[in-house]
DNA sequence: CGGTTAGTTGACCGATCAGTCAACAGCGGA
DNA sequence: TCCGCTGTTGACTGATCGGTCAACTAACCG
């Protein structure tokens, strides 16, 4: 029952936050939707912000699963990137179907909000973004080894480019309520992986 | 006195929102900081969201001035893009110096938040993002005419790419509290303007 | 069986929230 | 001179906010 309740609270909180900010969701909303009393919420979480941290971690778990699957090495490295973009877009589409509006990036938008809520919150956000970036940089390094990306390209720099681009497309997708926008990341990232001339 | 008060309210609200969300700022905060009473605020604005709309419009005015200056035709089109990126980065740096934390894009982050606050708010956000994009697409078209960008590149598509990339970098800059991140947009956008092969 | 502990309840707190209102000040035009 | 309008005041509302608390329950352990 215990683990169950905690997870239900986090799941509900994630759904309510979904595309809005944590600030826009109240603990009472969360409790009502989770069928739980305030005391229970504060039994598991020291503060609203701690709940926010758990939501962020929850979203990372989801994203992490998608990353692991998409970046599996049954495909050449650049094809894995494409597969990830497809999965990411599918995820946003699913969320839009479920909630009515397109969310931004489940990591990025929360990361941006938490960045100013104290140093540990920012550190958590940065940690997750770096972990995400690592999937890109690993694949890019491998692509360099295979000659599919020029050897003059720095993998870390290029990975940052790709991550930023995806974040930006997700933000536009949210603003325009059109998850399909992120699909162009496949083409765009190819361009970003070329050597500067 | 009238116009004066209204503008002071909007300016203060923008400062308080600055990098956070509108939801995180209360009307009482705004009134206190502006030295104004609640009644005055609601004399000028029908609701908190209307105030948010005015803040967004205010940010657009600021951004618009930067765009006009940066995209002036005393430079070749691609150099104008570089100049804009520099100005944009400088703007973020100034705001960080003033408020202690790096804001996201003054348009993008608010646009994303307002997107789910009803159709008119979303329409306003989209309108401003499109207006911004138009500066890019005009410059890109001109660059195509000068042979600096391949004729096979679609100006609208490429402009969306550039805008998305800048939004993404601004989001990362906010998360990492490092305005300098957006400077790499100069290199990145050059890559994005190449013809896909 | 008794005791311990994690989990749950529901009432409750003071603060704050967005928004309202009637009264009033000042000024420009008739 | 007085009217009417814009802007301003400050007190006020009912709801809701994040968070607390003491009491209760139930499951597990010895």
Q: Is the pLDDT of residue B195 over 90?
A: no
The span from the CA of A173 to the CA of A182, in Å, is 7
Contact B161 A171 (CB under 8 A): no
Mean pLDDT for B176-182 is 96
Domain for residue B18, yes or no?
no
pLDDT at position A153 is 97
Mean pLDDT for B35-55 is 96
The span from the CA of A185 to the CA of A173, in Å, is 12
Mean pLDDT for B71-89 is 98
Contact A175 B19 (CB under 8 A): no
Nucleotide with minimal C1' distance from the CA of A46 is D19
* Residue appearing with tokens 């690993």: A138
Mean pLDDT for B129-134 is 98
Domains in chain A: how many in total? 1
pLDDT at position A1 is 54
pLDDT at position A119 is 86
The span from the CA of B85 to the CA of A190, in Å, is 22
The span from the CA of A36 to the CA of A8, in Å, is 9
Identify the domain containing residue A81 by its residue range.
48-192
CATH number at residue B129: 1.10.357.10
pLDDT at position A63 is 97
Domain for residue B29, yes or no?
no
* Token pair belonging to A21: 């900010």
The span from the CA of B23 to the CA of B114, in Å, is 10
Domain for residue B97, yes or no?
yes
Using a CB-CB cut-off of 8 Å, the residues of chain A touching B181 are 160, 164
Domain for residue A136, yes or no?
yes
Domain for residue B12, yes or no?
no
The span from the CA of A65 to the CA of A166, in Å, is 18
pLDDT at position B2 is 66
Domain for residue A17, yes or no?
no
CA-closest candidate to residue A55, choices A23, A84, A91: A23
Domain for residue B60, yes or no?
yes
pLDDT along chain A (197 residues), means of 10: 85 91 95 96 96 96 98 98 98 95 94 89 95 98 97 97 98 96 98 88
Mean pLDDT for B37-48 is 96
Domain for residue B126, yes or no?
yes
Q: How far is the CA of B47 from the C1' of D13 (A)?
A: 17
ipTM passes above 0.95: no
C-alpha distances in Å from residue A67, one per residue of A70, A102, A166, B17: 5, 20, 14, 33
With beta carbons less than 8 A apart as the criterion, state whether B19 and B109 touch.
yes
């Amino acid at each position: 029952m215990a683990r169950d309740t905690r997870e239900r609270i986090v799941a509900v909180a994630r759904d309510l936050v979904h595309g809005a900010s944590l600030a826009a969701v109240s603990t009472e909303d969360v409790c009502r939707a989770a069928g739980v009393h305030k005391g229970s919420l504060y039994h598991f979480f020291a503060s609203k912000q701690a709940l926010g941290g758990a939501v962020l971690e929850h979203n990372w778990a989801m994203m992490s699963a998608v990353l692991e699957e998409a970046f599996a090495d049954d495909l050449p490295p650049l094809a894995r990137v494409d597969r990830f973009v497809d999965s990411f877009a599918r995820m946003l589409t699913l969320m839009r179907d479920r909630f009515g509006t397109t969310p931004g990036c489940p990591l990025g938008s929360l990361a941006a909000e938490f960045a100013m809520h104290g140093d540990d919150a920012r550190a958590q956000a940065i940690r997750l973004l770096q972990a995400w970036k690592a999937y890109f940089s690993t694949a890019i390094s491998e692509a360099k080894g295979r000659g599919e990306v020029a050897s003059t390209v720095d993998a870390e720099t290029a990975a940052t480019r790709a991550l930023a681009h995806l974040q930006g497309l997700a933000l536009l997708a949210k603003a325009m309520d059109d998850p399909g926008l992120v699909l162009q990341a496949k083409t765009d990232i190819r361009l970003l992986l070329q050597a500067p001339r």
